[in-house]
Amino acid sequence: MNILEIIAKKRDAKNLSKQEIEFFIKEYTQNNITDYQAAALIMAIYINGMNDEEIVNLTLAMANSGEVLDLSKFGKNVVDKHSTGGVGDKISLILLPIVASLGIPVAKMSGRGLGFTGGTADKLEAIPGYKTQVDINTFIQNVENIGISMITQTMNLAPADKKIYALRDTISCVDSIPLIASSIMSKKIASGANKIILDVTVGSGAFMKNKEDAIKLSKEMIKIGKLANRETICILTNMDEPLGYAVGNSLEVIESIEFLKGKMQEDVKQVVLELGAYMLKLAGKGEDIEKNKKRILENIENGKAYQTFIEMVKNQGGDISYIEDTSKFEKSKYIEPVYAQKSGYIHEINAEKIGELACSLGAGRIKKDDKIDASVGIIFNKKVSDRVKENDIVAYIHANKLEDIKIAKEKLINIIKIEEDYKECPNVILGKITNISNI
């Protein structure tokens, strides 16, 4: 087999065989295929697409390109959760301790943020002492001991995806549904779960800018799941404005702790309940979605979810005095209010622009090895549809550099769009796809 023939075949919009896809993935992972040849093939896939069989073969080849975690000791239904990315997205931090408190084993490897989207691993590391990099035996042991462990990727999971994703980023080939679907599902399959819940974000701060594309992506991932024997459910959620009120690593950890203590931000609550109820169903813990939501709320109200979070932090070496008293988190040097320029209703807070702004303050990375500043970010006082009066404080900028504040303030004033007419509160749950036939 020869890579030139494979490139030519896809260039001419023909279908690749399982053997050809496996050959490409194996040889590229082992550096026997050059980046420019891989780039040509990826571009041909981007332009000419792939059929379902090719997408499944690509996913499985990438999933098997490195280690594959075996979680079968935790039962026949091992559920994993993944978000396609967003701004202010602290759902994993809140939801996973909740489901663990309801008896579902949680063995979660999370990613880091890149570009305008945040990553759960960076948020966990904002907790002093919390170790996200533990060896795989400790990880499994932690799940056995207390039912939950949340870490960063320490295993060599789906290395082919890592290489291809980095390459796609440099050749403008990220936003392709077959490539995104296979990338996400390869990592989920390699992480060992056999039931997968996907938060497919839609809007300015998401990869999928509209619902139609989000449905196409969901359909593709569910099909991959079906063919790979992994039951998959997709919940479509709004990412036109940031989730909750906080954007920035420590700020989001604090907001998550408040949530677990019962102060629930409405949009975050909707997403947590919807995803959580389906996680319980997938785990075989209850068929009735509304009853599942009630059980989630009960475990927040009775403090069990918060206790599980504390236990997880303690078990990972984190200092729980910060969780018990969030005022201990290091604050940024400057906390600057931003005022409404006129009275009216908030019509838009563009999530992508907020993500970029937070990133420019130091909350995210432009390049992979950039350092994160955990204390910086933005706290909103208002959300889309809220009424404001001129000079009301609409947000606070948390920054460590004086020169950042003036620029951030000007940008934020332009990003938060205020109009005179009323704007309805947007739905945060935009749809759910539980199997392919209901699309």
**Measured from the CB atom, is 7 or 173 closer to ligand URA?**
173
**Measured from the CB atom, is 191 or 238 closer to ligand URA?**
191
Of 183, 201, 204, 238, which lies in the binding site for ligand URA, with binding defined by CB under 6 A?
A: 183
Q: Which pair of tokens denotes residue 146?
A: 């207390």
332 is an active site residue: no
Catalytic residue among 65, 80, 81, 82: 82
404 is an active site residue: no
Classify strands 334-339 and 393-399 as parallel, antiparallel or unpaired. antiparallel
Q: Residue 210 is which amino acid?
A: N
Q: Could you give the angle at the alpha carbon of 397 between the alpha carbons of 393 and 400, nearest 5°?
A: 150
Cα four-point dihedral sign 142, 302, 120, 324: negative
List the helix and strand counts (H, then E) for the chain.
17, 13
Q: Which helix (H) or strand (E) holds 39?
A: helix 35-48
Give residues with Cβ within 8 angstroms of 199, minimum separation 6.
81, 82, 83, 84, 89, 91, 235, 237, 271, 275
82 is an active site residue: yes
Catalytic residue among 65, 83, 182, 183: 183
Binding-residue pattern over the window 81 to 110 for ligand URA, x denoting contact by CB under 6 A: ---xx-------------------------
Please report how close the Cβ of residue 60 comes to ligand URA at its closest, in angstroms: 16
Tell me which stretch binds ligand URA (CB under 6 A): 145-153, 175-183, 262-270, 420-428: 175-183
Assess 180 for contact with ligand URA (CB under 6 A): yes
Catalytic residue among 81, 187, 281, 383: 187
Binding-residue pattern over the window 148 to 167 for ligand URA, x denoting contact by CB under 6 A: -----------------x--
Separation CA 264–CA 297 (nearest Å): 10
Cα atoms in the 13 Å half-sphere on the side-chain side of 78: 22
Separation CA 6–CA 24 (nearest Å): 8
Assess 239 for contact with ligand URA (CB under 6 A): no
Short-list 198, 275, 272, 208, CA closest to 230? 198
Tell me which stretch binds ligand URA (CB under 6 A): 11-19, 149-157, 180-188, 209-217: 180-188
Separation CA 115–CA 85 (nearest Å): 11
168 is an active site residue: yes
161 is an active site residue: yes
**Measured from the CB atom, is 165 or 396 closer to ligand URA?**
165
Q: Which helix (H) or strand (E) holds 190?
A: helix 177-190
Separation CA 169–CA 176 (nearest Å): 11
**Measured from the CB atom, is 148 or 179 closer to ligand URA?**
179
Tell me which stretch binds ligand URA (CB under 6 A): 50-58, 178-186, 227-235, 385-393: 178-186
Tell me which stretch binds ligand URA (CB under 6 A): 150-158, 177-185, 306-314, 359-367: 177-185
Q: Which pair of tokens denotes residue 191?
A: 């992480």
Q: What are the two backbone dihedrals, phi and then psi, of residue 123, each rounded to the nearest 5 degrees?
A: -70, -45
Catalytic residue among 161, 199, 267, 404: 161
Assess 184 for contact with ligand URA (CB under 6 A): yes
Separation CA 130–CA 316 (nearest Å): 5
**Measured from the CB atom, is 208 or 277 closer to ligand URA?**
208
Assess 42 for contact with ligand URA (CB under 6 A): no
Please report how close the Cβ of residue 284 comes to ligand URA at its closest, in angstroms: 27
Count CB neighbours of 172 within 10 A. Answer: 10
Contacts (CB under 6 A) with ligand URA, residues 187-226: 207
Cα atoms in the 13 Å half-sphere on the side-chain side of 37: 16
**Measured from the CB atom, is 83 or 299 closer to ligand URA?**
83
Please report how close the Cβ of residue 207 comes to ligand URA at its closest, in angstroms: 6
Assess 116 for contact with ligand URA (CB under 6 A): no
Catalytic residue among 81, 123, 162, 168: 168
DSSP 306-327: HHHHHHHHHHTT--THHHH-GG
Classify residue 74 by its DSSP letter.
G
Active site amino acids:
82, 161, 168, 183, 187
Point out which residues bind ligand URA (CB under 6 A).
84-85, 165, 179-180, 183-184, 207
